Amino acid sequence: MGELRISEPMSRHTSWRAGGMAKRFFKPDSIEELALFLAQTPVDEEIVWMGLGSNLLVRDGGINGAVICTSGVLGKLALLESDLIRAEAGVPCAKLARFSVRFGLTGAEFLIGIPGTTGGALAMNAGAFGGETWPVIETVETMDRHGQRYLRTPEEYKIAYRSVEGPVDEWFIAGHFRLKIAREDGLARTKALLEKRNETQPTGQASCGSVFRNPAGDYAGRLIEVSGLKGYALGGAVVSEKHANFIINSGGASAADIENLIHHVMTCVEMAHGIRLVPEVHIVGDALEGGLQG
């Protein structure tokens, strides 16, 4: 039945390479096994979902509950109709982008710039290069903590910038993407977007992607940069010199280092510009005593 690990270090699974241990860590072999696991999980046990771990900070005290990892397991990708793609929660966003252009479709190229999975993109309305996830969603498949499956429409959710609110204790297991027939070379467009990402972002380093949401009419990276914070470090956590909305684990950073730096950046930007930045990274788990200073 899938892969169940006890006391699993989350630093092995997050792109920040930091964080404490999960009480239970489960990778299902199929949606059916996922349903069985959820049905057998106590109703009072915390459940944390993750894909590639690219938008997740697990505190150093770890997670006293179950982590469900979809990366590499819920990975089915299929063309249902000439312009409709079904992608399971564990499908990397970049893979979905390439799949869409391979079939001559447009509307999902922006996903090439998101270092996460389809499930994460659905959960936070992920976006890049001016595109967002939910405008191209026709329906989503979800599962509750009893293992019951549902098919839902966007009208059943409150969707905003980097925010999705829907039924409580119900998680995305697949999305149906309604795209358009391309009139131009989508492969060239995705290649150009990927090159732009590599030129402007610190790819290949231990980061979570963008840390903060962009405030209305401005960019978080610009505000952080003009606040003089590029290169600022706390412990092993450093504000990227390449793009100020990225925090890098330069080696040996604890989750507390990273979270403290997040709070420091928020305080400095608010003092300098009167704007309170909102993190888009998902912070979970327990802090070690004395670990968090912010």
pLDDT digits (tens, 9 = 90+) for 72-91: 899 999 999 999 999 999 99
Catalytic residue among 210, 227, 240, 254, which?
A: 210
Mean pLDDT of 2-10: 95
Catalytic residue among 86, 162, 189, 197, which?
A: 162
Q: How far apart are CA 282 and CA 49, in angstroms?
A: 11
Domain extents in the chain:
3-69, 77-190, 205-284
Provide the 3-class DSSP secondary structure of residue 120: helix
pTM over 0.95: no
77-190 in CATH: which number? 3.30.465.10
- Whether residue 39 has pLDDT greater than 90: yes
197's CB contacts (< 8 A; 6+ apart) are 112, 113, 128, 203
Q: Does the annotation count 227 as an active-site position?
A: no
Q: How far apart are CA 160 and CA 133, in angstroms?
A: 11
- Whether residue 293 has pLDDT greater than 60: no
Class of domain 205-284: alpha beta
Confidence at residue 275, expressed as pLDDT on a 0 to 100 scale = 97
Confidence at residue 196, expressed as pLDDT on a 0 to 100 scale = 75
pLDDT digits (tens, 9 = 90+) for 178-206: 999 987 766 677 777 777 777 777 878 99
Catalytic residue among 8, 141, 259, 280, which?
A: 280
Provide the 3-class DSSP secondary structure of residue 264: helix
Which of residues 294 and 134 earns the better pLDDT score? 134
Topology of 3-69 in CATH? Answer: 3.30.43
Residue whose entry in the numeric block shows the structure tokens 């989350």: 10
Phi then psi dihedrals of residue 41, to 5 deg: -85, 130
Q: Does the annotation count 162 as an active-site position?
A: yes
Confidence at residue 1, expressed as pLDDT on a 0 to 100 scale = 64
Confidence at residue 290, expressed as pLDDT on a 0 to 100 scale = 58
Least confidently predicted of 63-72, 100-109, 200-209, 226-235: 200-209
pLDDT digits (tens, 9 = 90+) for 212-249: 999 999 999 999 999 999 999 999 999 999 999 999 99
Token pair belonging to 152: 């839902």
Q: Does the annotation count 141 as an active-site position?
A: no
85's CB contacts (< 8 A; 6+ apart) are 77, 78, 79, 96, 99, 100, 103, 105, 108, 176, 177, 179
